[in-house]
Amino acid sequence: LNSHKQSYSNRGMSLEEDINVTNQYYLTHDICVIHKKPTPVQIVKVDYPKRSAAVIKEAYFKQASTTDYNGLYKGHYLDFEAKETRNKTSFPLHNFHEHQIEHMKAIVKHNGIAFVIVRFKTLGKTFLLEATKLFPLWDRQYDDAGRKSIPYHYFLDNGFEIPINYPAIVDYIKIIDQLFF
Amino acid sequence: LNSHKQSYSNRGMSLEEDINVTNQYYLTHDICVIHKKPTPVQIVKVDYPKRSAAVIKEAYFKQASTTDYNGLYKGHYLDFEAKETRNKTSFPLHNFHEHQIEHMKAIVKHNGIAFVIVRFKTLGKTFLLEATKLFPLWDRQYDDAGRKSIPYHYFLDNGFEIPINYPAIVDYIKIIDQLFF
Ligand SMILES: [Mg+2]
Ligand SMILES: [Mg+2]
């Protein structure tokens, strides 16, 4: 993990990479079982060379129909999306897709735990915001006076800053513990 | 759904396609939220042509680190793998991978619901077998006298045949209901 620490202190790590390291730590230490879903790809053409692995020669990125992460913690279903922004004062809602919001609404309806992890890169702050706190802002953006972004202070007032702890880099399960257990 | 019925009666549908149709039905009818994970792909080369979508020009299939399906039902975490065989008397264990079994063991340990769906294509029978009933056979295969396959009668005795009901094609949630709720 030392090499990771180094690259992290060099600001080379993305939020997604941090969360993947965190999930690996959680898994190894039997804390929870959370995995990132693979990037969905539409495969069009595959070559099968003799005596070597199949090569995908033509494929396209597909829109994901769900969030990026899900899994299991203390018998509960967890589901979340992670996003980062360089903005300092707000988080633009267009970073989420309609079907991701619909998916999180279905999760909440079926008694799962849904949330987003949002990093303000420039500020060096990472927040957990419950999906139920996101839905009203999402829905309201289509109103005449609706904002197209979430103000930074909304995260301060309604979200929870995630401690950046080693060796779990984005220690979101601490917040989930406070909120639900 | 009519076109599906037709192709199903033509035996053109794989177990995976049937389960995907089933999950779509479950989702639309607010029964549960289960998705298939995308096939994991290692992307090596991407072209970005002007004025059109990015094209993946070189990529390779990666081994999945988990099972194919997971999601949420009545507040509970569900996780399963689906496999089919043309064999008539037994199901070869090499159809599963070690890391899939490890993953299902982690799910059971963290109080999730893990199982496999196995179809004997030639017999036209599809079974749900709880992961806890699979583990002992998996572990025992490495013993001197250990079998490398699961006898068909083991599914009859320890599994549950899944009713093939329209419009949910592989109506596995009925079995989950009987077992856990
Ligand atoms: Mg994403
Ligand atoms: Mg599979």
The predicted-structure confidence for B6-43, as pLDDT tens digits, reads as follows: 334 444 579 999 999 999 999 999 999 999 999 999 99
CA distance A11 to A7: 6
Q: Is B50 helix (H, G, I), strand (E, B) or coil?
A: coil
Query: CB-based contact (8 Å) between B181 and chain A?
Result: no
Answer yes or no: is the ipTM higher than 0.95. no
Yes or no, beta carbons of A41 and B56 under 8 Å apart: yes
Residue A78, min C-alpha distance to chain B (Å): 9
Write out pLDDT tens, residues A110-140.
999 999 999 999 999 999 999 999 999 999 9
Nearest by CB to residue A41, choosing from B32, B38, B74, is B38
Ligand that comes closest to the CA of residue B83: 2
Ligand 2 centroid from CA B68, angstroms: 5
Bridge partners (DSSP) of residue A161 are A127
Q: Is the dihedral of CA B75, B64, B119, B104 positive or negative?
A: negative
Q: For residue B101, which amino acid is it?
A: I
Ligand that comes closest to the CA of residue A80: 1
Q: Domain residues of chain B, as ranges?
A: 14-38+65-180
Contacts of A59 in chain B (CB under 8 A): 41, 55-56, 59
Contacts of B31 in chain A (CB under 8 A): none
Q: Give which of A132, A88, A129, A90 is closest to A111, Cα–Cα.
A: A132
Structure tokens that stand for B69 in this block: 């399906």
Beta-carbon contacts of residue A156 (< 8 Å; ≥ 6 apart)? none
Q: Give which of A132, A111, A65 is closest to B72, Cα–Cα.
A: A111
**Is the model's pLDDT at B3 over the cut of 80?**
no
Residue A80, min C-alpha distance to chain B (Å): 13
* Tally: H helices and E strands in chain B: 6, 10
Contacts of A111 in chain B (CB under 8 A): 72, 74-75
Structure tokens that stand for B7 in this block: 């192709």
Q: With cut-offs at 50, 70 and 90, classify the pLDDT of residue B180.
A: confident
**Is the model's pLDDT at A177 over the cut of 70?**
yes
Q: Is B123 helix (H, G, I), strand (E, B) or coil?
A: coil
CATH number of the domain located at residue range(s) A2-38+65-180 in this protein: 3.40.1350.10
Q: For residue B110, which amino acid is it?
A: H
Ligand 1 centroid from CA B84, angstroms: 32
Neighbours of ion ligand 2 (CB under 5 A): B 68
Structure tokens that stand for B94 in this block: 């090499």
- B152's enclosing H/E stretch is helix B152-158
**Whether residue A49 has a cis bond before it, omega within 30° of 0:** no
Of A7-11, A80-84, B167-171, which gets the smallest average pLDDT? A7-11
Contacts of B65 in chain A (CB under 8 A): 35
Residue appearing with tokens 């930074």: A152
Q: CB neighbours (10 Å) of residue A110?
A: 19
Query: CB-based contact (8 Å) between B27 and chain A?
Result: yes
pLDDT of residue B12: 53
Residue A38: phi and psi, rounded to 5, are -60, 155
Ligand that comes closest to the CA of residue B100: 2
Structure tokens that stand for B28 in this block: 């639309």
Yes or no, beta carbons of A56 and B41 under 8 Å apart: yes
CATH number of the domain located at residue range(s) B14-38+65-180 in this protein: 3.40.1350.10
Write out pLDDT tens, residues B113-132.
999 999 999 999 999 999 99
For A53, counting Cβ atoms within 10 Å of its Cβ (0-12 exposed, 13-18 middle, 19+ buried), the class is exposed
